Structure 1
Amino acid sequence: MRMFKYTNLLIIGKNILDIQVPQCCNLRKFSNAYDLDLKLNGISLNNYVRSIQNEYFNICKGNSENKDNSWSFITPVGRLLEERDKVIQNLNNLTELLNENDKDLKSMALEEKIQWEENINNIDNQLISTLLPFDENEHNSMVLEVNSGVGGQEAMLFAKEIFNMYCNFIHYKGWQLEIADYQETDLGGIRHASALVDGNSVFKFFKHETGVHRVQRTPATEKSGRIHTSTVTVVALPQPTDIEIKINPKDLKIETKRATGAGGQHVNTTDSAVRISHIPTGIVVECQVDRSQIKNRKIAMAKLNALLYEKELNNQTADTEAARKSQVKSNFRNEKIRTYNFNQDRITDHRLQGVNINNLKGFLLGGEQLEDLIETLDYNNKVNKLLDIVQNFNKQS
């Protein structure tokens, strides 16, 4: 399991619970010296692990009623516990050698003991990694949107910097990017920009960027040196996968018009811009980034598909949205998630306590620093979900 420099969540200790292991599948009762003690943020996972271990025992015996549904999750945990037990048996077998008077034998036994204890620590780390919930929404396609918020022209300038940061990050990851909309201002900022992104688990990364990004800096036009605060909103919409979206052509109102803004004489004098209205939901999408009306229509339909998917996803998860505090849901976009303070050369992500990142200009290049922060956010999010599961389990048991 990769551990990131912004994260300090995993604590492995000893001697809390003596897990009772069923006598099946080579499972044995653990030695007291190496009792399993898994903790996350000070919360013990042992009772939860014990229940998984007992279910693994039932599966081995053929007593589980939900073998098909449980096997994929329980088996890795059960097998890691089996492996851990074998390591402990090897440690126990070293007892006599550790008491030998022969210094060479005793030295070799001590070296072997250290190796086996490292193996236990590695297995415990693997157990934590295996217990972390799998994200079902790690889609390979999405629509990314960046919108300027409060702050006028300064917000629009910052929106362009954020959008460029994400474009650089997409190229850094080797994903495919297609600009769907780009509304530039006279001063070089953007009111709105959107893109279609394809790549391995792209939504896993960008769902943690969804929300309000705040910038604090002194604009170049500010003569008195005052610090201005502006905001930008980022939205990531997963492209449909398991949820089937059916669009009836009769429900669409498709209009063409001349494109506005920068783009050249040909773009501005032909009806290449496309506007699609989905009558049942009232959702409207536009695209005017290409000279080809056919390509603009294709991109607009992709955006509409993504918006309808998000609407259906929110409908399906409405009952659990508040409890799970998902970072993907639409209400999360109204929350301030990150502050970029140019005067102090500092980035603060408000979802991670005590995490401040320096080298702001380097961060905005959209490379390794952004990747490390997003992966830390993803790990932290999974830890919080696991702790919710464990706490609910402890309440019910």
Structure 2
Amino acid sequence: MKKTSLIQKLEISKKEFLEISKSIIQPSIISDQKKYKTLLKKYIKLEKIVSLYEEYNNKLAYLKEINIILENDSDIEMKELATTEKYKILENLSYTEREFSNLLFSSNSKEQYTTEDYRKAVIIELRSGTGGDEACFFVEDILRMYTMYFKKSGWKYKIIHAQKGGIKGYKEIILDVNGEKGVYGNLKFESGVHRVQRIPKTESQGRVHTSAITVAVLPKVKDIEVNINLNDIKKDTFRSSGSGGQHVNKTESAVRLTHIPSKITVECQEERSQHKNFEKAISVLRSRIYQNEKEKRLKKISIKRKSLVSTGDRSVKIRTYNYPRNRVTDHRIHKSIYDLAGFMNGNIQEMINILKLAEKK
């Protein structure tokens, strides 16, 4: 299909969407349930198209900015970044145009795997909370639990960033997880505070301590979904503090990116190449900005679920791992599993399935 014809179709869809938006809130429409359901179904379909169309236009505008940088900026590194971004934008504009065709003309556009639950990739962030060294130990334990679950599920993962704890374990670790459709649909339930009750290895008197870590599961988003202006990013480089040999520790290959408008900061130091660290950091930054905007949007239109099953609120205690009683309890659904050893070995799908059922209800 020619681009001009596609744009015409999209403009028609946008106009129709705006008309339905006005009519669907009218009392006469709401009182007529049959008519209301028909319009609502159409509204939901058109909302996806219009939202994607807005992102498409933002990308076109961003492409113009990139071309200006390429023509006028004398900074060689900035030009290299702009060239990389331009290649991605052109590729994604083409991808978006195919998505439009699916949404506009496919006879089976009801489910095009466009919802978040069908995403194949996520960013998982694990951070130690209250509990000092014991919290760092528990980050490592939860990391092992997830990696064993990934192996059982046939998913692949890479460590993007890792910050070691004082004695052992991790203060923070960020993973990039990829697999078949539904990676986010399963892992989204893990976002929140994970609490552990056990006798720490450093405890000499045998007392049970309570520590906590936070887990954040962010859907990994495509470039077309989040518009990041290079001029809004502050880039810092520094020497890696982790393992990796002479090259990593003696060159400034680690990258820190700060998104000035949102003040979101991302670090990456796992690769030997500064360019590769930059690419990974940009990926994490996109996911964090997307999640940040999503949460603001949900609050604004007041449709956030009362249930905490899938809100992804990282400040809410969702699960307790009680070692003395061999029990793991999910507080959102009041479900306990008395096989903590099995759970920590990656057998977490049973709990996830129950959470899925609770969300549907």
Question: TM-score range with shorter-chain normalisation?
Answer: 0.5 to 0.7
2:116 maps to which of 134, 137, 159: 137
Q: How does 1:1-397 map to 2 (within 5 A)?
A: 55=34, 68=42, 136-138=115-117, 139-199=119-179, 200-240=181-221, 244-318=225-299, 319-325=301-307, 327-329=309-311, 332-353=313-334, 355-366=335-346, 369-383=347-361
Alpha-carbon offset, residue 320 of structure 1: 2.3
Separation in structure 1 between the aligned mates of residue 41 and residue 215 of structure 2, nearest angstrom: 42
Contact 2:298–2:304 (8 Å) recurs in 1: no
Secondary structure at 1:222's aligned position in 2? coil
Separation in structure 2 between the aligned mates of residue 160 and residue 70 of structure 1, nearest angstrom: 42
Secondary structure at 2:241's aligned position in 1? coil
Separation in structure 1 between the aligned mates of residue 197 and residue 165 of structure 2, nearest angstrom: 21
Residues 241 and 263 of structure 1: is their aligned pair in 2 closer, same or farther, counting only changes over 3 Å?
closer
Contact 2:156–2:178 (8 Å) recurs in 1: yes
Residues 372 and 301 of structure 1: is their aligned pair in 2 closer, same or farther, counting only changes over 3 Å?
same
Contact 1:180–1:287 (8 Å) recurs in 2: yes
1:106-126 superposed Cα distances (whole Å, 9 cap, x missing partner): xxxxxxxxxxxxxxxxxxxxx
Which residue identity lines up with residue 302 of structure 2 in the other structure? Answer: T
Contact 1:321–1:329 (8 Å) recurs in 2: no
Alpha-carbon offset, residue 240 of structure 1: 2.3
Secondary structure at 2:162's aligned position in 1? strand
1:220-264 superposed Cα distances (whole Å, 9 cap, x missing partner): 232211101100110011122597211111111112110013332
1:11-37 superposed Cα distances (whole Å, 9 cap, x missing partner): xxxxxxxxxxxxxxxxxxxxxxxxxxx
Secondary structure at 2:348's aligned position in 1? helix
Alpha-carbon offset, residue 370 of structure 1: 0.2
Higher helix residue share: 2
Separation in structure 2 between the aligned mates of residue 295 and residue 64 of structure 1, nearest angstrom: 49
Residues matched between the structures, number: 260
Secondary structure at 1:254's aligned position in 2? strand
Deviates more, 1:135-144 or 1:148-157: 135-144
Deviates more, 1:177-186 or 1:334-343: 177-186
Deviates more, 1:233-242 or 1:265-274: 233-242
Residue 14 of structure 2 aligns with which residue?
none
Separation in structure 1 between the aligned mates of residue 306 and residue 114 of structure 2, nearest angstrom: 12
Which residue identity lines up with residue 218 of structure 2 in the other structure? Answer: L
Alpha-carbon offset, residue 303 of structure 1: 0.5
Residue 70 of structure 2 aligns with which residue?
none
Secondary structure at 1:351's aligned position in 2? coil
Separation in structure 2 between the aligned mates of residue 242 and residue 326 of structure 1, nearest angstrom: 29
Secondary structure at 2:225's aligned position in 1? coil
Secondary structure at 1:315's aligned position in 2? helix
Unaligned runs of 5+ in 1: 1-53, 72-133, 384-397
Residues 334 and 156 of structure 1: is their aligned pair in 2 closer, same or farther, counting only changes over 3 Å?
same
Secondary structure at 1:333's aligned position in 2? coil
RMSD of equivalent CA atoms: 2.7
Residues 229 and 70 of structure 1: is their aligned pair in 2 closer, same or farther, counting only changes over 3 Å?
closer
Which residue identity lines up with residue 320 of structure 1 in the other structure? Answer: S
Separation in structure 2 between the aligned mates of residue 66 and residue 222 of structure 1, nearest angstrom: 59
Unaligned runs of 5+ in 2: 1-32, 46-112
Separation in structure 1 between the aligned mates of residue 222 and residue 200 of structure 2, nearest angstrom: 43
Which residue identity lines up with residue 206 of structure 2 in the other structure? Answer: G
Residue 102 of structure 1 aligns with which residue?
none
Separation in structure 1 between the aligned mates of residue 148 and residue 161 of structure 2, nearest angstrom: 17
Separation in structure 1 between the aligned mates of residue 143 and residue 133 of structure 2, nearest angstrom: 15
Secondary structure at 1:317's aligned position in 2? helix
Separation in structure 1 between the aligned mates of residue 170 and residue 130 of structure 2, nearest angstrom: 13
